[in-house]
Structure 1
Amino acid sequence: MSSSQRFLDRLGLQLPIIQAPMAGVSTPNLAAAVSNAGGLGSLAIGAGSVAQARQMIEDTRALTDGPFNVNVFCHAPAARDAGREAAWLAHLAPLFAELGAAVPAELEEIYRTFLGDEAVFELLLEQRPAVVSFHFGLPTQQQIAALRQAGIYTLATATSVREAALIEQAGVDAIVAQGVEAGGHRGVFDPQAQDERHSTSVLLRLLTGRTTLPLIAAGGIMDGQGIRAALDLGAVATQLGTAFVLCPESSANASYRANLKSERATATRLTSVLSGRLARGMLNRLIEHGEAPGSPPPAAYPVAYDVAKQLNAAASQHGDSEFAAQWAGQGAPLAREMDAAQLVLTLANEMAA
């Protein structure tokens, strides 16, 4: 039996296809549709309250008997720096003025970290989703052990050999090997550390033979041919995000969808301007303004995200989406518009061709 088949059997999957847990885009309907089609659907609960997380899990469970993944953010709490935040607000002030909006008087750490969040930890132990995944780092080994003891399969994102080693040492079940092509936030543990920005294929080859854990390829995979190539390079499964954004079950808004179907999709940028951490999205005015020569560094994550969201909210009142975080990977021009079940079937047919 192949390592990929062992992985699929362990989770009760038919296909080596995981829908990425995209905060703000993935929904119970999307996760359930992917799981019902034989893949692994995913929810991202790091951007909401405990009550919202509970509701998302319960809604997904009502729509599928299949396994699904619940993802949490394990970032270090923001290092608040009043001077840095003031400089960033001053830099963005002309954009707020252009929209007739006031510059925020104060900023909040809008996304809680799973680290030390006992309420979310207890929720996961209570709800026992088939899979729990970690992004931006790891919780304690005791929490990982408790989740596994509860019968939950665990995943964690690695962008480097060093992070993969830490994941294995912590007792996590499998590694999501995230290449630099991926849309959304890079899962680096330490944003201040050197980042080699390995491609998905290079990262897979570096990790194959260096870890005993199953590898899930993530980044730039948009079709069945890409899935097959990743499996040939040593992955047991693949994680696709941008490929699912155009599905009607996702919560992407009309502007996001229109841009992903346009020439805008050919220009993605890895930037910390939008949130304070490196993330890949379609180029827009906020990114250009924030990366202009002489720009100060953004506020820390997720404080900078609070500013960007407030700016986007003001712009949205004018029908302007030039300040929205529209995450997309380098494979964005290959995105296809079809319902999630049909996309999974299409991917499976391409993979087998």
Structure 2
Amino acid sequence: MNDRKLMTTIESIRMPDREAMDAAERHLNSLTKPPGSLGKLEAIARQTAGITGELVPDLSARAVIVMAGDHGVCEEGVSAFPSEVTPQMVHNFLAGGAAVNVLARQANAGVFCVDVGVNAELAHPKLISRKVRFGTANMTREPAMKREEAVAAITAGIETVEQLYSEGYRMFATGEMGIGNTTASAALCTVLADMPIEEAVGLGTGIDEGRRQHKIQVVERALAVNRPDAADAIDTLAKVGGLEIAGLAGVLIGAASLSCPVIVDGFISTAAALIASKIAPQSVPYMLGSHLSHEQGHRQLLQAVGLSPIIHMDMRLGEGTGAVLCFHFVDAALLIMQEMATFESAGVSQA
């Protein structure tokens, strides 16, 4: 059932509306400025027009989807924080006390936390529960999850977007919570982006160089034990990935199927975008890169997906914090399209 849901969702993704993009380009060039002088704001305006088919779409209803899951590889001491922080932070999100909640309130966005694989029993009226399993297995000893579990987690992301879309949301941002997920993301990058392990493995939550070298060895062991197939993104995801990463890949694919823009957060979210780009290449035009993470390897990972970051703020928190900041830039681009005078209306001579 999950395989069928995933395939039909992928098949429903249409190409962006080229006529709307061309119309946006013509309008931008008619505004009282040199052509292209607003840089990435103009690129955002063209892209959102293509995604929605509207010159100035209403994207005021926006949601940050924070996928949460635990990682068995934490048994190997790869993080500065213990695994119990994952469920504790889920409660923090639900209480509105995390950084992403603060920034989302500023951006007038909703924060929706999804339990797709937390290794704890969670119950809260605001929690979206789509648990596939209680955390992944230790990937240095066995596959992180079964293939069908990876597909189920992707499907959970698709269904979350569909639920929020039915409630009126039209723009999304990706966020995540899962102690150990930079290790899984680095493994995915090594296999699917052909990135050297030394470049893919960073400092994560703030480990020192000695712990980073240990983390490199952990990723090497996981790859040697599981031998993921680089030509099969779902196989790689199942063997060395994470449930929340799979869920975010589903969010990206689901948003594309509904013709909604989705802003990709940092390193872990971009690893999810890499998965989505491999199994549904047509979903990439619906993604906007948000920021260049301080986590090493993120620049190369963005390039592998085909995304360009809007901002560079030396951030590495995750949660969706960088993506939420970029809601403001989308708003700015749409206001330029809506409110800026044309040469004709302002009576300004063109070159």
Structure having the higher helix fraction is: 2
TM-score (norm 1): 0.30
Q: Which has the higher strand share?
A: 1
Q: Which has the higher contact order (CA 8 A, sep 6+)?
A: 2
